[in-house]
Structure 1
Amino acid sequence: MSPFCRSLTRRGRLLTLPPLFCPLLRGKKTFYGEYRRPGQPRDNTPPWKKIRFDFAKGVEGIQKHFGLLKDEIVQRFEGPEGRPLHEHLLEQTRVMWEFRGQESLHQWVVSTDREIGGRSEAYVKLGRNNTTCLLYGTLCSTPPRDGETRYSGYCTLRSKQPLASFDRKKHYDWSSFNTLHLRVRGDGRPWMINIAAETYFSHQQDDIYNYFLYTRGGPYWQDVKIPFSKFFLSSRGRIQDEQYCLWLDKVNTIGFTLGDKADGPFQLEIDFIALCNDRAHTEEFAYELYKRNPEV
């Protein structure tokens, strides 16, 4: 620690400061320092130098957000999501995502283990005739040589969380449906479908609901219907002992993850992602629920 952080001179006297105030004098973001992976260089750029101000983009952003705010106010008088109430109550199916242009790919984010130093590669593009989404790449389970990471080899395609005006968080309301309907064409690999919902406590931010999708491969499409009651709760890749039902009225994102430890190329083609209400399915939750304070 520098002598400047240890002490200050004032009117000829030496004032000693506790180490807690040293990050304040150096201009650090947090008291505990910023986490860096082994081998990653430290970023010493001051925060004010990272600001990129553009007057034209600022005006454009104001117009965009006030337009979204106007639509929100109007939709409240028309009905749920801007539709009449009788259409909302009688709705049996809803297509959430369909890939019919380059703009539809902007709603999704691709990530791999390269974020932690891995070697996997994943890309997304439009399929044949620009009517499908094709996720392809190469999976590599070799962990990075940083002395810390033990496991590697994954890729994920995840939808972006919807935002309201002024970048306020928005949630999908799927409470009127009980089944997820997919039309996919895979290569025989097992994929994990991930659904992230809004949590009540901050320490639950890593909670996510999963279900394994086994693709059969080949040139034929596969129509899959998965009840939401079959999704199980996990946190940071570990299945939780206490299971809870998925909050369908506060869904944030949906994603597809591959991590079967089989090195080599992969691909997954998605036609659409929809919701449906299966009247024949009456199961609320497929897994055993435990009582914290059972009756004696």
Structure 2
Amino acid sequence: MFAARAVWSPRTRTHLLRHLLNVGIKSSVVPSCHMSFIGDLGYNIGLLAKEMIEKVKSPDLAILTNRSKTLFEFKELESLESCLVATDQDIGGKSTAQFTLSKNNKGLFHGTLCTEVPRDGETEYSGYCTLKTKQMYRSFNRKIQHDLSPFNMFKMRVRGDGRSYMINLLTESYFSNNKDDMWNYFLFTKGGPYWQDVTIPFSKFFLSHRGRIQDRQAFADLERVNAIAITMADGINGDFALEIDHISVDFDPTHKEEFAYELYERNPRPKQKKR
């Protein structure tokens, strides 16, 4: 009887988690001598309680019924805050870029590409602009990662300017020497007033390291995708503009290709002749 009474109902768990959330938020008000440690601890406890509430109230079961999932949808100013822009100005270049809201209330990645190399005696190449989704974090500084393994198609709805872009998948790596690895594929846009629905199989993405395509290819770890980026670096000076409606993933049961590129074996052993 006692064990049966000790089982909490979903409603009781929800009230308890809400109480923990309030405690976590209130605990951030502490004396200044303990503000750094206890304040951060209370903030993280509040985030953890909020995550538990969301998990209890709305578990992620959509993947069991839907074959597609929208990752990012740009319709208002708040949705643009999930992305950041980087250019070659970080290395002394002169390219400029912005991510703003278009007249159609869609995300607009636009700017000016300049391939002029900085005269610092070290930089050899220049001319890039990148739009990248921000790395989000859970409580206690845990990374929020996208699990795209149930899907095999990358999809976008864009309206371009006829220039070529690069789509990048940034994944979590186990080793520090692989932190600059990313998987890329080309985005060829059509000029004109019409929207373009882009579908790219994940099997087409190839591995690169610091901008160099690797001879030894590998399939992307879709279970731990940290961020998605779009890069303009086609080597043509001038203005560019890419209007983005949404970024999503999809599962196509008719697509059977596992990987589009050859996989080489490192240090293969010579085959022994049969006697």
- TM-score scaled by length of structure 1: 0.75
Is residue 80 of structure 2 the alignment partner of residue 101 of structure 1? no
Deviation at 1:112, TM superposition (A): 0.4
Pair 158,84 (structure 1): closer, same or farther in 2 beyond 3 Å: closer
- For residue 274 of structure 1, the aligned residue among 236, 248, 257 is 248
Amino acid across the alignment from 2:91:
I
Q: Which of residues 184, 187, 192 is equivalent to 2:158?
A: 184
Residue among 82, 88, 112 paired with 1:113: 88
Supply the distance in 2 between the matched residues of 1:107 and 1:259 (Cα, whole angstroms).
22
Instruction: State the 1:285 CA deviation.
Output: 0.7
Counterpart-to-counterpart distance in 2, 1:226 and 1:59: 47
Q: Please list, as runs of the form range in 1=range in 2, the aligned pairs for 1:13-92 lying within 5 A after superposition.
A: 65-74=44-53, 82-83=58-59, 85=61, 87-92=62-67
User: May I ask how many residue pairs the two structures share in their alignment?
Assistant: 238
Query: Which residue does the alignment assign to 2:261?
Result: 287
1:76 is displaced (CA, Å) by 5.2
Shift of the 63–107 alpha-carbon distance from structure 1 to 2, 3 Å rule, reads farther
With the length of structure 2 as denominator, give the TM-score of the two structures: 0.80
Q: Does 1:218 align with 2:218?
A: no
Q: Deviations over 1:245-273 (max 9, x none)?
A: 11110001100001111101110100000
Question: Runs of 5+ in structure 1 lacking a partner?
Answer: 1-52
Q: Is contact 2:207-2:213 (8 Å) kept?
A: yes
> 2:134 matched to which residue of 1?
160
Structure 1 letter corresponding to 2:102? G
Distance 1:111 1:58, change over 3 A: farther
Identity %: 51
Query: What CA distance in whole angstroms lies between the structure 2 residues aligned with 1:274 and 1:217?
Result: 22
Q: Which residue of 2 aligns with 1:23?
A: none
SS in 1 for 2:143: coil
Q: 8 Å contact 2:75–2:245 — kept in the other structure?
A: no
1:143 maps to 2:117: yes
RMSD over aligned Cα, in angstroms?
Answer: 2.3
